[in-house]
Amino acid sequence: MEENQALTNEQLESRLKSLRVKAAITMILTYAAVVGIIIMWFFMGNLVLGLVFLVIAMVFAYFSSKSSSTLKKLLSDNIISSVLKEALGNSVEYNPWGKLNPGSMAFPFDYNKVEGSDHIKAVYNGLNIELGDIELIYEAETVDADGNTEKNSITNFKGQWLICDFGKELSGEVCLSASDKKLRRQHKNDSVEMENENFNNRFLVTANDAQEAYYILTPHMMEYILSMADKSGGDVYMSFQRDGKLHVAVKTGRDFFELGKSNANVEGLRRKFLGELRWFTDMIDTLRVEDALYKKETNV
């Protein structure tokens, strides 16, 4: 990393821009080649030309993927690593292509396939945490009247996921989900109404034991969660589990540490990535300060 940091900000920005342009162009050419395949095979019946376009599509897809990987590695080595150290301290492991395991599903998402990236493991203020991008996909095969099999896939969740210890065992699970009508109907019997009307409108609280929900969700905690949800950029889900784990998921529809549409300004990217991490570290810090949950006994 020290060798890569020899790049100045201007050099880094220039490389990021050129890689992004390269990735975009090769992606467009891949799609164009795919359109060519469809035209040649299905409309003009020309198998040979179709095969040529297939090879072209594969080549451009390879180069597009390579550019994206190089871009990710460049971001990781030059910006992300330092941002992670600043936000989470020195005991951080980061794998840009690794994925977090959400474990037994804490939230109301149907899925049979998990994809992910930007897997972070750290010890933050004495707590073991895991953070990453997650995509929960439900794939189903349907057979139509003619016996043709069609594969459909729906992404039910795409966003960021945090798992951390909170050092306290509960008598039952407490789960907060962004509210929707279908979910409310499904959980008519085990939903818990809190005193905060605004909170009840934004979140559906479910728990085996309503008192545990009140124990965790103090009035101050509810206000805090509402303010954090406003800043999150997506729907927020939280699950306090019996084994002492806290899961926080934010359905942003995008990944961590992406260049996105920004103009690859290095300082701007650092601030953006730090902001993405701070949302989670602020959440952990507040829960500690509240002392309603975090009572980690061991010193790390």
Partner 1 sequence: MVPIIIILAVVLAVAVWCVRTVNDFKKKEIRVQEGLSGVEVALTKRYDMLTKMLDAAKGYMKHENELFEKVIELRRGMSVAELNDAQQQMDSLSGKLFAVAEGYPELRSSEVFVELQRGIRDAEEHLQAARRLYNTSVTSYNTAIAMFPAKILAGSRQPKEFFAAEEHKREDVKMTF
176 touches 239 (CB < 8 A): yes
- The span of 79-87, 111-119, 122-130, 193-201 binding partner 1 (CB under 8 A) equals 193-201
- The answer to whether residue 183 forms part of the interface with partner 1 (CB under 8 A) is no
Buried b (16+ CB within 10 A) or exposed e, 33-47: bbebbeebbeeeeee
Taking contact as CB under 8 A, which single stretch among the options 6-14, 149-157, 214-222, 258-266 is the one that binds partner 1?
214-222
Crossing angle (nearest 10°) for helices 266-290 and 9-38: 100
- Check binding of 295 to partner 1 (CB under 8 A): yes
CA gap 139, 156 in Å, rounded: 10
Shortest Cβ distance from residue 211 to partner 1 (Å)? 5
Closest CA relative to residue 221, chosen from 131, 296, 291, 125: 291
Does residue 194 bind partner 1 (CB under 8 A)? yes
Stretch that binds partner 1, among 49-57, 67-75, 77-85, 190-198 (CB under 8 A): 190-198
In the chain the first and final C-alpha atoms are separated, in Å, by: 27
State how far the alpha carbon of 28 is from the alpha carbons of 16, 23, 31, 32, 60, in Å: 18, 9, 5, 6, 9
The correct pick among 137, 210, 226, 274 for binding partner 1 (CB under 8 A) is 210
**Residue 271 found at the interface with partner 1 (CB under 8 A):** no
Minimum CB distance to partner 1 smaller for 214 or for 279: 214
Stretch that binds partner 1, among 84-92, 125-133, 211-219, 233-241 (CB under 8 A): 211-219
Q: Which is nearer to partner 1, 121 or 288 (CB)?
A: 288
Q: How many residues bind partner 1 (CB under 8 A)?
A: 11
* Element counts in the chain: helices (H) and strands (E): 8, 8
Q: Please pick, from the candidates 11, 101, 198, 211, the single residue that binds partner 1 as defined by CB under 8 A.
A: 211
Q: Is the dihedral of CA 61, 62, 66, 72 positive or negative?
A: positive
CA distances from 187 to 30, 106, 184, 202, 264 (A): 46, 15, 5, 15, 45
Smallest separation, CB 201 to partner 1 (Å): 15
Match 């829960």 to its residue by tokens: 287
Residue 152, CA atoms < 13 Å, CB-side half-sphere: 8
Nearer to partner 1, 211 or 262 (CB): 211
Q: Which stretch, 65-73, 187-195, 239-247, 257-265, contacts partner 1 (CB under 8 A)?
A: 187-195
Q: Is 49 in the site for partner 1 (CB under 8 A)?
A: no
- Dist CA 241 CA 55 (whole Å): 50
* Closest distance of CB 200 from partner 1, Å: 10
Stretch that binds partner 1, among 4-12, 75-83, 112-120, 213-221 (CB under 8 A): 213-221
Residue number, 77 or 212, with CB nearest to partner 1 = 212
The SS3 call for residue 46 is coil
User: Does residue 193 touch partner 1 according to CB under 8 A?
Assistant: yes
The reply to whether 214 sits near partner 1 by the rule CB under 8 A is yes
Counting contacts by CB under 8 A, is residue 195 touching partner 1? yes
* Interface contacts to partner 1, rule CB under 8 A: 193-195, 210-212, 214-215, 218, 292, 295
